[in-house]
Structure 1
Amino acid sequence: MKIVLVDDEKVIVEGIKFIINRYIPECTVVGAAYNGLEGVKLIHKLKPDIVITDIRMPQADGLEMINRLKEKGCQTKFILLSGYTEFEYARRGLNLGVLSYINKPVEEDELQACVYQAMKTIRDEKAKSREVDDLKQNIHSRMQERALRDILDFGSDNIELMEESLEIAQFQTEGSWFACIILEFDSNNDALKESGLQQVYALIDQTFGQFRAVHRFRYSATQIAMVVSQGSPIGYADLVRSMHRLKEEVYLQTEWTTTVGIGTVQKKAAGISQSFEEARYALSYKVVKGANAIIEYTEITNQSGRRQPVSDEMIAKLETALDNVNEKECLGIIREIFRMMDAESGLNPADIQLQCLNILLASIRKMSFQQLQQNDFLGRHILSLEGMSKFRTMEFLEEWMTEVIRRIIQFKLEHNIPQKKDIIAEVKEYVKAHYSEPITLTDLSARFFISPYYLSQFFKQKTGETYVNFLTQIRIGKAKELLEKTDLKVYEICQMVGYTDTQHFARVFEKLIGFKPREYRKNLPNE
């Protein structure tokens, strides 16, 4: 630690310097001053950890020097020296936060004890400061994750609400460019262990260090979502190269193989959800590219210009038959699709795989990842797509697709899924009963056996509003009721209706109701 000595007697300064150099090797004397005014300038310049100063000095005494430094926000620890045993000096020094008071002549043991006590105080304060900083960083990271998760899950229909969430989470969005990436780990573990997760986070931060910021968090049991941002256009090639390096480092350190989907670069924050959907769509092409691949959305869209013998109407027809659990109709549609592909001239294996991917994605679009994992056949053949990746003839591929459809229908029947006619009504009832909890789209999708993206889109289609807007209306409606019928404080109501930030709650309340919560309660009619 750095020490500065201040005393108008050079002999005393040299003597103290000798003691410190000899008996306190953890400290270094970095400078000396011989009056109070010099001391102020030197301490302000060198910013030492500890200052040992005489009291009685010309131009400004030690206490006056300390007072001037404290007024400028100096955090240095002070030890006073004096040839006088005057209580008034000690009292004034105590008021100024002086740690120790030593009488001259200075004894080695006493000086050593005082310096070590100052060092301990400094270390304790730094440790507490680190704890506070870590806590603040943890809270900040959670706020950012929550804001990003809402945007990724629910989209950006409400631009104003999205921008407010980002502002509360202290995102720098003005003039920023964004790109989203999803990492899916193909390890044998059912979920990323916390230790491994932190290791991957560290590798992400290190590998993507050239970008202004990278926000990363666990998106599902085996997936990590990344949002990369920069104050200038993000080079897509740089993004892909960084991802290749990260993938290699993850495998070297964990032996986990990783499949990656990369969305396009978007200029405004409103494009974050679009880039994420592109990354998710790219990742779905794992069925064609295979596991352990980096799949770029731009590469997938370049393939989409090929001929598409399977029409959207045919895909919709298959989805309806699956919804109705009509096995005969489903298998008939599969036969019809393959006859159309047989009749289409010029289709190469990649084209055929692409068509089968469209059929497969339509078949499982409404199923959640958890559902696929629950069934051994579906998990093994759809998540890894052994059948598609090994097919040699159209007949074999048709047989495999037929078996997949049969297994999906069997799964639906076993889990009584067809009886859940109005899934959105069930979701709404669940939300009304659990509005005070942190309900994420991922949680709902797992509970109701439906994919997060499909649930988000289906909710809006059925209700005419986004899930976020519905949840907000429920929460604010309950908050109104509590303001009207109870004497609970606003911050208590905020927590009871599922919000963690009182200011955010107040802003959302004012947008919907026209008043801040306190103003609303104040304007209630007296009964």
Structure 2
Amino acid sequence: MYRLVVIDDEYIVVEGIKAMIARKKLNYEVVGCAYDGIHGLEVVQKEKPDLVITDIRIPGLDGLSLIEEARESCTDTVFVVISGYTEFEYARRALRLGVKGYIDKPISIEKLTDVLDMVEKECFQAREENSQLERKRIGQEKIKNLFDQSVRAMTKGSGNVGDFQKYANAAVETILEVYPDVEDFNREVVKYLCVLCDILSESMKQVQRDSLFSYQEMERKTTVEEIQEYARKVIVDLSRYMEADKTGSSHAVILEVLAYLEEHYQEDIGLNELAEKVGMSTAYLSVLFKNEVGTSYVKYLTNMRITQAKKLLKEGHKVNEVSEMVGYSNYRYFSDIFKKHVGLTPNEYKHNY
């Protein structure tokens, strides 16, 4: 609904316009009215309506002077004038002020409807289309920036997995804002993910793009939620390969182990359980893990837990809660391990950071 203010010194004209709009169920809502120019200017400046219909000859401040004053603070408001007069000087001033329409008295439903339809098509719809185009342009620029940031996070030095996930997920959400239609969203997400997968495949020759992304899988996605879920999966997979590459691991079994630890680090995970999961002996997995990752399984898991604990403490969680959340049921043991790695007790860390 477009917001409308009506100004005329004849009460019957103001009420008549209200009644006509209601009767025809036009896409306008009368949010204010006035019977003189001074009060009318106050109403317009307060309401900042989409449209003002004002008589030219009203007491206090004539209609054209009112428009001239109102334009300073209501730059987006459209003005239409009413008059029983056709003096050339009034018409010239109205054109100079950018008045969009003219209704001569007596006002009829047909005259009012014609003017309001014209204003809606020529002013409001055009304005909305321009606004949508501008929003789309801004959104596309944001997508480009997020894409550039996610690529930098993938390729800068050994890569930054946290930044990559942040920028990549933000890019997918922004794509949805700019392309809300499911087919358009799917198409743009496919383009985005394919480039990311190509970049990873180029830097890690042993990884094929087909193992990261499937066109057939995306074709089966028929809802926004399904597309988002698949995009998140691809981004997580890319992150795991980045993490593995950063640690020097290219072994498929170690990739599987690292992915499992990422999701289950807070559980009581033993090397025996992991060895059984990947079908290896415990002794062989222990050696393979250290050779591929560069540290022992226990140290790797401990570092992962301590890193997460620091994050949770910064977020304000209680120390005993954090202990449980990162996989330590014994609070004192957690505190000892934390201090050994960080140099501060969990409480000291929480209050200092």
**Which TM-score tier does this pair reach, normalised by the shorter chain?**
0.5 to 0.7
2:50 maps to which residue?
A: 49
CA deviation string 1:467-522 (max 9, x = no partner) = xxxxxxxxxxxxxxxxxxxxxxxxxxxxxxxxxxxxxxxxxxxxxxxxxxxxxxxx
Give the Cα–Cα distance (whole angstroms) in 2 for the partners of residues 39 and 219 of structure 1: 58
CA RMSD, 1 decimal: 4.8
Distance in 2 of aligned mates of 1:17 and 1:66 = 21
SS at match of 2:236: strand
List gaps (5 residues or longer) in structure 1.
158-177, 185-193, 203-214, 224-248, 264-274, 306-345, 360-527
Matched, 1:351 2:318: no
What residue in structure 1 maps to residue 299 of structure 2? Answer: none
| Conserved? CA contact 1:287–1:357, under 8 Å | no
Give the structure-1-normalised TM-score: 0.38
Q: Hey, which of these two has a bigger chunk of helix by percent?
A: 2
- Cα distance in 2 for residues equivalent to 1:156 and 1:290: 20
Q: Is the 8 A contact 1:181 1:261 kept in 2?
A: no
Following superposition, the deviation at residue 12 of structure 1 comes to 0.8
Whether contact under 8 Å (1:49, 1:77) holds in the other structure is yes
Change (3 A) 1:137 1:258: closer
When residues 294 and 41 of structure 1 are mapped into structure 2, their CA distance, relative to the original with a 3 A threshold, is farther
CA distance in 2, matches of 1:108, 1:130: 32
Given the two structures, how large is their TM-score scaled by the length of structure 2? 0.54
Q: Which of 112, 118, 129 pairs up with 1:127?
A: 129
Does 2:1 correspond to 1:25?
Answer: no
What residue identity is the alignment partner of 1:128? Answer: N
1:288 aligns with 2:254: yes
Letter in 1 for 2:164: C
SS at the partner of 1:59?
coil
Deviations 1:345-400 (A, max 9, x none): x95354245257569xxxxxxxxxxxxxxxxxxxxxxxxxxxxxxxxxxxxxxxxx
- Residue 219 of structure 1, aligned match among 193, 196, 206: 196
2:150, 2:164 within 8 Å by CA — same for their partners in 1?
no
SS of structure 2 residue aligned to 1:106 = coil
Unmatched segments (≥5 aa) in structure 2? 170-180, 201-224, 272-280, 295-353
Contact persistence 1:259–1:292 (CA under 8 A) = no
Tell which deviates more after alignment, 70-79 or 138-147: 138-147
Cα distance in 2 for residues equivalent to 1:291 and 1:256:
20
| Structure 1 residues 251 and 69, CA gap change in structure 2 (3 angstroms) | closer
- Which of 173, 181, 200 is equivalent to 2:165? 181
Per the alignment, do residues 257 and 114 of structure 1 end up closer, same or farther by CA in structure 2, a change over 3 Å counting?
same
Alpha-carbon distance in 2 for matches of 1:297, 1:153: 25
Amino acid at match of 1:46: E
State the Cα distance separating 1:196 from its structure 2 match. 7.5
Match of residue 39 from structure 1: 40
Q: Secondary structure at the match of 1:12?
A: helix
Alignment of 1:237-276 (within 5 A): 250=226, 258=234, 260=236
Q: Would the aligned equivalents of 1:6 and 1:13 in 2 still touch at CA under 8 Å?
A: yes
Q: Deviations over 1:274-298 (max 9, x none)?
A: x996486489676435399576399
CA distance in structure 2 between the partners assigned to 1:280 and 1:40 by the alignment:
68
Amino acid at match of 1:47: K
Hey, what does 1:104 align to over in structure 2?
A: 105
Superposed CA deviations along residues 438-466 of structure 1, whole A, max 9, x for unmatched, are: xxxxxxxxxxxxxxxxxxxxxxxxxxxxx
State, as a whole percentage, how many aligned pairs show the same letter.
Answer: 29
- Once the 2 structures are TM-superposed, how far is the Cα of residue 117 of structure 1 from its aligned partner? 0.4
Number of residue-to-residue matches in the alignment: 242
Counterpart of 1:198, as a letter, is F
